[in-house]
Structure 1
Amino acid sequence: MQIKVKVKPNSKMQKIEEAADRSLIVYLKSPPVDGKANEELIKVLSENFHVPQSRIRIKSGLSSRQKLIEIDTDL
């Protein structure tokens, strides 16, 4: 499954909201430095979708706030 994600780094709380266009807005505590926000994003999505972190990858937008995430849900 592929989902569009908008990341909001340096937030006070970690949370996930669904936007009107069915994409996700993910609030992260980590700063967007040295891939820390991307690591936290994968961890948060892993917990939310109940899949191992190894099954989640960022297809596009590694250095952008707009990302396309691929989650392999076939177990």
Structure 2
Amino acid sequence: MADALLKLHVTPRGSRNEIIGRRGDSLCVKITAPPVEGAANEAIVKFIAGALGVRRSQVEIVSGEKSREKTLRIVGLAQEEVNTRLG
């Protein structure tokens, strides 16, 4: 099974962890964690893994670790399945 890529636009220090919509081909996500010492990145991985119903080890940041624009790889899920689960 092919891995999926997921583009995100992340807003740290939100009031709660939530998906707020789409901007172009990116999913817009608010995360409560601040962008300090990788806290927001860890929160993103945990949140997206929970939203998709996969293990955290199946979600990895492949680009944008120090940016609000991130690309995640979802191991073991097809692109269509990721799109279906996230709506």
Separation of aligned partners in 2, 1:59 and 1:20: 20
In the alignment, structure 1 segments of 5+ residues that lack a partner are none
Per-residue deviation at 1:20? 4.6
Deviation at 1:23, TM superposition (A): 2.1
Aligned residues: 74
Using structure 1 for the length normalisation, give the TM-score. 0.91
- RMSD between superposed Cα atoms in Å: 1.2
Partner Cα distance (2:28, 2:76) in 1:
20
CA-to-partner distance for each residue in 1:3-53, whole Å, 9 max, x for gaps? 110110001111013315342111000000000000000000010001100
More helix by share: 2
CA pair 61-12 structure 1, distance change in 2 beyond 3 A = same
Give the alignment's TM-score, normalised by structure 2: 0.79
Alignment partner, residue 73 of structure 1? 76
Q: 1:20 to 1:36 in 2, by over 3 A?
A: closer
What does residue range 1-75 of structure 1 map to in structure 2 within 5 Å?
1-74=4-77
Identity %: 32
User: Equivalents in 2 of 1:20, 1:26: separation in Å?
Assistant: 10
